[in-house]
Chains A and B, each alone.
Chain A
Amino acid sequence: MIRNKLLWKNNQQQYGLLGKFLHWLSALAVLTLFASGYWMVELDYSSQWYQTAPHWHESIGILLIAVTLFRLFWRGIAGSPAAITSHSLVEKKASATMIVFLYFVLFSVLISGFLISSANEQAIAVFDWFKVTPVVLAIKNQEDITGLVHYYAAYAIIIFALLHAVAALKHHFIDKDNTLKRMTKL
């Protein structure tokens, strides 16, 4: 029973199974979304992907909004591991700030993307499983303004994720501490 709890929930030493799963699922989704977005905007009109790629991109994005909301909710319930004692004060502050930044940029890119799709003022189909009500803002050419935010936020999340990954690898290979293992160890 206790072991079960330890596995699922976060504890002082490491993230729980669910936390790890949500983290790596998000990482995979973000990379997939960035790569597909980068590729699909240049598709030729006659490409067989011209309609399906944006449809899937939007569907994954909307699902990731739900996953991320649940992830924050779970983080609130399950708590997060204590800072590693061997980290310097600067590292502790930097990692805590980076987490806030990553969530902020993640929501920026996800919500701006949702608002681009919303600009059609039609329900947005998620993989034809269900439809989401669009949110229409009282601004002219919503798709252009949110499109700009989406573009820059997408590059920002990749840059922040890269820094985040480099920092984790630095702790793992140079400092040889537990930082990365807290998120990988099964």
Chain B
Amino acid sequence: MKKILLASALLTSSVLMPVVAADYVIDTKGAHASINFQASHLGYSVLAGRFNEFSGNFSYDKDNIAASKVTVTIDTSSFDSNHAKRDKHVRSDDFLDVSKYAQATFVSNKVEDKGNGKLTITGDFTMHGVSKPLIIDAVKIGEGSDPWGGYRAGFSGTATIAMADFGFKKDFGKVDLILHIEGIRQ
């Protein structure tokens, strides 16, 4: 009886309440998300790497995209370009200075629906103690039930930052960020 009451209460509330965007936790545990970067090497080629450790969550509802939000916190010491000495240098005070600035964060403040699954996410990206607006061109890959009883939604996005904007001692120009995010609905 109690269960039926609870179920009917839930049903009623879901019918009567306005649509609330669902909350997702980014699946870093299962590594179904990655924060990658690409930078130019001498103008001759592309150097790629990533941040191995980060966490975050987002809210998303396909019927109310403007209400979406995303927050990501990156452990800067997890910088990895598959070259220990370069990583050590990038973590040093010439660049990320991770002993002083252990985290980089992105907090969205506007999400626009561009149609066809495309989104523009605007927010503040804070790294090396400097906050700058960042625009992510994102695309929804898909959403739906997973085989283990959960519900997931995934996106990809790109953004570009300039090293000079973040006050690093050394400057190697622009860095492209390539983001793949999968969230598990809570």
Contacts and interface: CB of A to CB of B under 8 A. Distances in A.
B108 interface: no
B16 to A, nearest CB: 50
A121 interface: yes
The 7 closest A-B pairs by CB, nearest first: A119-B84, A143-B84, A143-B88, A120-B84, A147-B88, A144-B88, A141-B77
A42 to B, nearest CB: 10
A144 B87 CA distance: 9
B83 A120 contact: yes
B170 A142 contact: no
19 contacts: A45-B170, A45-B172, A54-B85, A116-B84, A116-B88, A117-B85, A119-B85, A119-B88, A120-B83, A120-B85, A140-B77, A141-B77, A141-B87, A141-B88, A143-B84, A143-B85, A143-B88, A144-B91, A147-B88
Interface in B137-186: 170, 172
Contacts of B172: 45
Nearest to A147: B88
Nearest to B170: A45
Nearest to A121: B84
Interface in A94-129: 116-117, 119-121
Contacts of B84: 116, 119-121, 142-143
Interface secondary structure of B, over-half rule: helix
A63 B122 CA distance: 54
Contacts of A116: 84-85, 88
Contacts of B88: 116, 119, 141, 143-144, 147
A37 B12 CA distance: 71
Interface string A135-147: 0000011111001
Interface in A18-50: 45
B92 to A, nearest CB: 9
A141 B83 contact: no
A116 B86 CA distance: 11
Contacts of A120: 83-85
Interface in B15-46: none
Interface in B61-91: 77, 83-85, 87-88, 91
Contacts of A45: 170, 172
A37 to B, nearest CB: 13
A144 B77 CA distance: 10
A142 B80 CA distance: 12
Contacts of B170: 45
Interface string B84-107: 110110010000000000000000
Interface string B106-130: 0000000000000000000000000
